[in-house]
A and B are shown apart, each in its own frame.
Chain A
Amino acid sequence: MIAYLIRRILYAIPILIGVNLLTFALFFVVNTPDDMARMQLGIKRVTPEAIDKWKQQRGYDKPLFLNTAADSAGIFTDTIFWHKSASMFVFDFGYSDDGRSISYEIAKRMGPSLAIALPTFLIGLVVYVSFALLMTLFRATALDMAGVALCVLLMSISGLFYIIGGQFLVSKLWHLVPISGYAGGLDSFKFVVLPIIIGVVGGIGSSSRWYRTIFLDEIGKDYVRTARAKGLSELRVLFTHVLKNAMIPILTGVVVVIPLLFMGSLLTESFFGIPGLGSYTIDAINAQDFSVVRAMVFLGSVLYIAGLILTDLSYTVVDPRVRLS
């Protein structure tokens, strides 16, 4: 088990190196730092001095890979790649364009992001699985048909509509909760409740339909027939037998997103003014703050790989046949 974990973590390293090189190529090779400076400073009124100053302030005035002017180890370490890209492996993300430490911002913003994402995830999972089980229970009846039709309709609606419509209905028309904003501690409840509800409702369509397919796949198997032959009630078959066996395909899709919950949701956070990582990313994209975007890309892939490892571990919990070695 431990050996397996270590191997998986070691296997993650080349992937992270790949991600790192890819983002580096994307941000520094496709466009040179000069292009970025020109873009940031405005295309027209830009002087070579201004470009040099911009580059120097952000530490982009070094060579990309090899610094032939430096001595010994400086050849490799005194370069943009070393300072801006390789340093991310020790989670040193540097500074954003407005001069703040990115690591500090990330640590500060994870809380609000989680306050929305975690409840959305947990409540959502319960709601989707229950709805899917309900449809499975009434399979091949008019109720099931109506459920599937509802799912298709819900998943055809743009996510933006759920947010805008929800804000309009609940906040503007009914005045139940503030339209947007955030507060620490218990006060945050009135701010997070609407984003959570909208997040759950927005996912019902696709998720419930997906879980229903999984349950229907399971329900056609032999062990279900055996269970019924033993005289178990349909409810018992569904909840103890089918649900347990369907856990494996469900976990495959679910566990992998748990670490990514830290990243928050771009849309929800920016619409509701939640100071989380999602709105941080979206602000950075709008301000074209490349260092923040690079940091978030790296963080996102670290969390995704953590999710993959967690998925493997979760199999051992629900499926006694799986032994990691």
Chain B
Amino acid sequence: MSFMPVILWSDALVFLLIAAIVAAAVHVRKREHLMLPWKRVARSSVALVSMLVLSVFLVIGLLDTLHYRAALPQNGSEKVYSPEVLSAFDALVGPLRTHTEKTYSAPFALHLYAKESMRDAQDNVVREYPRLQYGGTHLADEAERDMDVLQRALVGMLAGTLAGVMLSWLLRRRYTQPALTIALVLLAALIGTIMNLSAAYHVLGTDKVGQDVLYLSLKSIRTGLIIGTLTTLVTLPLALFLGVAAGYFRGWVDDVIQYIYTVLSSIPSVLLIAAAVLMMQVTIDTHPDWFDTSASRADMRLVALCLILGLTSWTGLCRLLRGETLKLREMEYIQAAQAFGVSSMRILSRHIMPNVMHIILIALVMDFSALVLAEAVLSYVGVGVDPSMISFGTMINGARLEMGREPMVWWSLASAFVFMLVLVLAANLFADAVRDAFDPRLNRTEGQA
């Protein structure tokens, strides 16, 4: 075996989350009444298209979660592994990661952004823009670039379209919405184009240390998804147990829980997060011996950030659940259960929990996009992810200082914002569809569906 699988903390938690989602899906699939709202979601073409976009992001994020350390070539018998933690995604896009230039270069550029001293044919020192090491090196004549880009784009687009058409033909029985088919083909064409172009050019340019911006943007997806999803692992149990307990038991339990969340929510959230992250940084920095690689250190910071975000953001959902439980506990069926002597635990798990699930689901999908956006802001403030971790926030942060340059370095900033916009927009549209499908306040008139 020439590599050693590495399971970082965030990977383990992601696997846990996936297991939970699969279990929930199996549970729901077997029950017609629980499937009903999901069928309503599936009927909306906006939801399906945004889900398609999200699933592309999810696949990239998941591939990027399978981490390993490659074995180093050596002559001894003992295997030595590289300290660099890579992921299946890195292996898949190989050249994109390794083709680093010296510094900035614009999208599709053939030359570096900065001039360098070079020797020309007559051995004189001249200041020139050097040729890129990897971008468009196959071209014999630089004037051919535009034609070559066009040609490659067309070929990639055709291949992508073909793949998209085939895929939608395979799925023709399950998904019949024309919007979904169109979106699938378009997305496949786009991916095909970018894939074919990125083999020969830096499609989105390179950043300050010469890394491909497309690669950075794709890697940022995992960070964004992790922040958006793992936080719920903390929020959910806290908000659910405390909220339901406060609403159901009332009395001193309610007082204590209300006191806790009033205290927490009275601190402006950015400040509370900043304070907690600063302290977490001190702890991590004073214990360098806890981590064997820099990746595991950065990863721990990410997990801790999720934990902190969760601990500071459960109060809103908790308040909602408390209110709903207060209302539910006065319902006749709950009173009947109490009169029959059903235990509190059983009432809570059988009668209350299932009836607040829609609130939880709506709150969670709604929070997702806010968390992705928050990551960028927190990284800017200096309390976000580890500076060595690739994320939208660190990309924006690094690129922001180059705005003043002439000509402007706009590509990393633009890429980070566009990727973030697509992810958040898809998440928002999907969240809206889920809310519309699950919210019982919206009266629907549908047959016996």
Q: What is A's interface to B at a CB cutoff of 8 Å? A: 14-15, 18-19, 22-23, 26-27, 30-31, 35-36, 38-39, 43, 152-153, 155-161, 164, 167-168, 172, 260, 263, 266-267, 281-282, 285-286, 288, 290, 293-294, 296-297, 300-301, 304-305
Contact of B275 among A23, A168, A282 (CB under 8 A): A23
Q: A159-B377, A160-B377, A286-B382 are in contact. Are A35 and B282 (CB under 8 A)?
A: yes
Q: A293-B275, A305-B266 are in contact. Are A158 and B417 (CB under 8 A)?
A: yes
Q: Chain A's nearest CB lies how many Å from the CB of B430? A: 11
Interface centre among A31, A36, A288, A294 (most CB of B within 10 A): A31
Contact across chains for B396 and A285 when beta carbons are under 8 A apart? no
Kindly state whether residue B428 has any CB partner on chain A within 8 Å: yes
Bound-state CA distance A297–B387 (Å) is 25
Q: Chain B's nearest CB lies how many Å from the CB of A146? A: 14
Contact across chains for B286 and A293 when beta carbons are under 8 A apart? no
Q: A168-B403, A293-B274 are in contact. Are A22 and B266 (CB under 8 A)?
A: no
13 CB < 8 A contacts A-B: A14-B259, A15-B262, A15-B266, A18-B262, A19-B263, A19-B267, A27-B279, A39-B281, A153-B425, A158-B376, A161-B417, A164-B413, A285-B381
Q: A35-B286, A152-B428, A158-B417 are in contact. Are A18 and B275 (CB under 8 A)?
A: no
Q: Chain A's nearest CB lies how many Å from the CB of B31? A: 30
Starting from the known contacts A18-B263, A39-B285, A281-B271, 7 additional A-B residue pairs (CB-CB under 8 Å) come to A18-B262, A23-B267, A30-B279, A156-B425, A267-B380, A286-B382, A288-B278
Kindly state whether residue B199 has any CB partner on chain A within 8 Å: no
Q: What is B's interface to A at a CB cutoff of 8 Å? A: 259-260, 262-268, 270-272, 274-276, 278-279, 281-283, 285-286, 288, 369, 373, 376-377, 380-383, 392, 396, 400, 403, 413, 417, 420-421, 424-425, 428-429, 432
Contacts of B400 in A (CB 8 A): 164
Bound-state CA distance A32–B285 (Å) is 13
Interface centre among B276, B282, B288, B428 (most CB of A within 10 A): B282
Contacts of B392 in A (CB 8 A): 158
Q: Chain A's nearest CB lies how many Å from the CB of B441? A: 9
Contact across chains for B272 and A297 when beta carbons are under 8 A apart? yes
Contact across chains for B420 and A158 when beta carbons are under 8 A apart? yes
Contacts of B425 in A (CB 8 A): 152-153, 156
Which residue of chain B has its CB nearest to the CB of A34?
A: B286
Contacts of B260 in A (CB 8 A): 18
Q: Chain A's nearest CB lies how many Å from the CB of B277? A: 9
Contact across chains for A19 and B266 when beta carbons are under 8 A apart? yes
Q: Chain A's nearest CB lies how many Å from the CB of B148? A: 31
Interface centre among B265, B278, B429 (most CB of A within 10 A): B278
Contact across chains for A296 and B271 when beta carbons are under 8 A apart? yes
Bound-state CA distance A31–B279 (Å) is 7
Q: Chain A's nearest CB lies how many Å from the CB of B85? A: 23
Which residue of chain B has its CB nearest to the CB of A206?
A: B370
Contacts of A26 in B (CB 8 A): 275-276, 279
Bound-state CA distance A239–B230 (Å) is 44
Contact across chains for A35 and B420 when beta carbons are under 8 A apart? no
Contacts of A266 in B (CB 8 A): 270, 381
Which residue of chain A has its CB nearest to the CB of B280?
A: A30
Contact across chains for B266 and A35 when beta carbons are under 8 A apart? no
Bound-state CA distance A126–B430 (Å) is 30
Q: A38-B286, A156-B428 are in contact. Are A304 and B417 (CB under 8 A)?
A: no
Contacts of A159 in B (CB 8 A): 373, 377
Contacts of A18 in B (CB 8 A): 259-260, 262-263
Which residue of chain A has its CB nearest to the CB of B270?
A: A266
Q: Chain B's nearest CB lies how many Å from the CB of A110? A: 15
Bound-state CA distance A152–B283 (Å) is 40
Q: Chain B's nearest CB lies how many Å from the CB of A90? A: 19
Contact of A160 among B282, B283, B383, B396 (CB under 8 A): B396
Q: Chain B's nearest CB lies how many Å from the CB of A246? A: 17
Contact across chains for A300 and B285 when beta carbons are under 8 A apart? no
Q: Chain A's nearest CB lies how many Å from the CB of B374? A: 10
Bound-state CA distance A161–B399 (Å) is 12
Contact across chains for A39 and B282 when beta carbons are under 8 A apart? yes
Contact of B377 among A15, A267, A296, A297 (CB under 8 A): A267
Contacts of A293 in B (CB 8 A): 271, 274-275, 278
Give me the 6 closest cross-chain CB pairs, A-B, nearest first. A18-B263, A156-B425, A300-B268, A301-B266, A156-B424, A31-B282
Contact across chains for A260 and B268 when beta carbons are under 8 A apart? yes
Contacts of B383 in A (CB 8 A): 285
Contacts of A155 in B (CB 8 A): 428
Contacts of B403 in A (CB 8 A): 164, 167-168, 172
Contact across chains for A160 and B376 when beta carbons are under 8 A apart? yes
Q: Chain A's nearest CB lies how many Å from the CB of B154? A: 30
Contacts of B264 in A (CB 8 A): 22
Contacts of A156 in B (CB 8 A): 369, 421, 424-425, 428
Which residue of chain A has its CB nearest to the CB of B416?
A: A158
Q: Chain B's nearest CB lies how many Å from the CB of A251? A: 18
Contact across chains for A31 and B283 when beta carbons are under 8 A apart? yes
Contacts of B286 in A (CB 8 A): 31, 35, 38-39, 43
Contact across chains for A297 and B275 when beta carbons are under 8 A apart? yes
Bound-state CA distance A23–B373 (Å) is 26
Q: Chain B's nearest CB lies how many Å from the CB of A303? A: 8
Contacts of A19 in B (CB 8 A): 263, 266-267
Bound-state CA distance A297–B396 (Å) is 27
Bound-state CA distance A157–B264 (Å) is 28
Q: Chain A's nearest CB lies how many Å from the CB of B343? A: 33
Contact of A294 among B265, B275, B285, B373 (CB under 8 A): B275
Bound-state CA distance A159–B265 (Å) is 22
Bound-state CA distance A157–B380 (Å) is 16
Bound-state CA distance A155–B420 (Å) is 12
Contacts of A286 in B (CB 8 A): 382
Which residue of chain B has its CB nearest to the CB of A281?
A: B271
Contacts of A168 in B (CB 8 A): 403
Contact across chains for B283 and A297 when beta carbons are under 8 A apart? no
Contact across chains for B278 and A297 when beta carbons are under 8 A apart? no
Contacts of A288 in B (CB 8 A): 278, 281
Which residue of chain A has its CB nearest to the CB of B287?
A: A35
Contact across chains for B259 and A15 when beta carbons are under 8 A apart? yes
Which residue of chain A has its CB nearest to the CB of B288?
A: A43
Contacts of B278 in A (CB 8 A): 285, 288, 290, 293
Bound-state CA distance A168–B432 (Å) is 32
Q: Chain B's nearest CB lies how many Å from the CB of A230? A: 26
Q: Chain B's nearest CB lies how many Å from the CB of A30? A: 5
